[in-house]
């Protein structure tokens, strides 16, 4: 694929953005663009998203068992949950910084970048606000919003996207078939 002078970005909602590397870019920007375009990197980030989802489920389960979910005695606040969660947040922040550096002014033209930016920003604000306002119910709701990142797995694993989109189109067909049967039922019943 021959590089172009401008970034060529696929802005589709359900597709990963790929950057065509411009020859005029500096070496670090080209390197980060190559890393971001690697399927292995996307697979790694997908694995981190799944790992983070499992952490969130364990943390939520432990919080439900605590009398004081934000207290130091709660098992959800143990380092075996908090440290990996912070590592995931740092990895998401590094990936976002790489995307900002590579895309620069084109960053906001890709919907997944905006989506990731919002989720990472909410997660970072939730961490800071959580340490300031310990009893805020809203902070726990913000933590649960991190689960929305799971939607990004649709762009990383093409087979998963194909299965879900096929299932959705099949359900639409079944829905309309049921509507047609309900509409035809009175006429067919009256002919007997």
> Within this chain, do residues 81 and 165 fall inside the same structural domain, yes or no?
no
Counting as low any pLDDT under 70, the low residues of the chain are: 1-17, 130-148, 150-157, 192
CATH number at residue 99: 1.20.120.350
Number of domains observed in the structure of the chain: 2
* Model-wide pTM > 0.85: no
Q: What is the pLDDT at residue 185?
A: 83
> Within this chain, do residues 98 and 117 fall inside the same structural domain, yes or no?
yes
At which residue do the structure tokens 């009893």 appear?
A: 135
Residue 58's contacts (CB-CB under 8 Å, 6 or more residues apart) are 81
Q: What is the pLDDT at residue 69?
A: 73
Q: DSSP letter string over 38-77?
A: -HHHHHHHHHHHHHHHHHHHHHHHHHHT-SSTTSTTSGGG
> Within this chain, do residues 149 and 183 fall inside the same structural domain, yes or no?
no
> Within this chain, do residues 43 and 131 fall inside the same structural domain, yes or no?
yes
Cβ neighbours of 99 (radius 10 Å): 21
- Which domain, by its residues, includes 113? 1-156
Q: What is the pLDDT at residue 59?
A: 85
> Within this chain, do residues 117 and 182 fall inside the same structural domain, yes or no?
no
Q: What is the pLDDT at residue 81?
A: 87
Q: Tens digits of per-residue pLDDT, 43-99?
A: 898 889 889 888 888 888 888 888 877 777 888 888 898 899 899 999 999 999 999
> Helix (H, G, I), strand (E, B), or coil: what is residue 191?
coil
């Amino acid at each position: 694929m021959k590089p172009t002078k401008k970034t060529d970005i696929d802005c589709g909602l359900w597709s990963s953005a790929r950057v065509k590397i411009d020859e005029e870019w500096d070496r670090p920007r080209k390197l980060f663009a190559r890393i971001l375009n690697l399927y292995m990197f996307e697979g790694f980030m997908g694995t981190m998203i799944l790992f983070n989802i499992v952490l969130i489920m364990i943390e939520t389960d432990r919080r439900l068992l605590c009398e004081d979910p934000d207290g130091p005695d709660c098992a959800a606040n143990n380092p075996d949950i908090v440290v990996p969660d912070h590592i995931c947040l740092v990895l998401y922040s590094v990936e976002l910084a790489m995307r900002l550096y590579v895309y620069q002014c084109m960053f906001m033209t890709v919907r997944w970048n905006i989506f990731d930016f919002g989720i990472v920003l909410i997660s970072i604000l939730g961490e800071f606000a959580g340490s300031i306002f310990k009893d805020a119910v809203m902070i726990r709701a913000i933590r649960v919003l991190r689960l929305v990142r799971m939607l990004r797995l649709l762009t990383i694993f093409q087979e998963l996207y194909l299965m879900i989109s096929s299932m959705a189109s099949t359900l639409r067909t079944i829905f309309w078939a049921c509507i047609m049967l309900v509409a035809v039922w009175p006429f067919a019943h009256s002919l007997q």
